[in-house]
Amino acid sequence: MGLKEEQMNFITSSDKRMPIGKPRLYNWYRENKYPELIVKVGGKILFDLDLWEKMIQEQIEKNIELAKRTQSEKEKQAYEKWRTRKKKSKKK
């Protein structure tokens, strides 16, 4: 098994850069929640910091898209409400 062109950035649970607590790390490992993120090698549980950062960036992008859609829907609703009021006031 060869290494990828880019070397992976795995850290242990005791590394100060660990973004989650040890209990959560062990729970996620035991539950096999993110098998590509947390692996056990030689009795040590390792966390892929690069993949974590990629997951965070993807979630940020999804949040931005959701916010745009939500804002767009709110603007449409506000416009329709305004238009309905305007029509009612013309009838009087």
| 3-state secondary structure string across the chain | CCCCCCCCCEEECCCCCCCCCHHHHHHHHHHCCCCCCEEEECCEEEEEHHHHHHHHHHHHHHHHHHHHHHHHHHHHHHHHHHHHHHHHHHHC
CA 17 – CA 74 distance, rounded (Å): 40
Residue 63 placed within a domain: yes
pLDDT score, position 83: 77
pLDDT score, position 7: 66
Residue 64 placed within a domain: yes
Domain that holds residue 59: 10-91
CA angle 45, 61, 49 (to 5 degrees): 20
Residue 3 placed within a domain: no
pLDDT band per the 50, 70, 90 thresholds, residue 5:
very low
Compare 10 and 7 and report the one with higher pLDDT. Answer: 10
pLDDT score, position 11: 95
Q: How many domains does the chain have?
A: 1
CA 3 – CA 80 distance, rounded (Å): 57
Residue 66 placed within a domain: yes
Residue 2 placed within a domain: no
Q: What is the pLDDT of residues 30-78, one digit of tens each?
A: 999 999 999 999 999 999 999 999 999 999 999 998 888 888 887 878 8
pLDDT score, position 15: 94
Compare 87 and 1 and report the one with higher pLDDT. Answer: 87
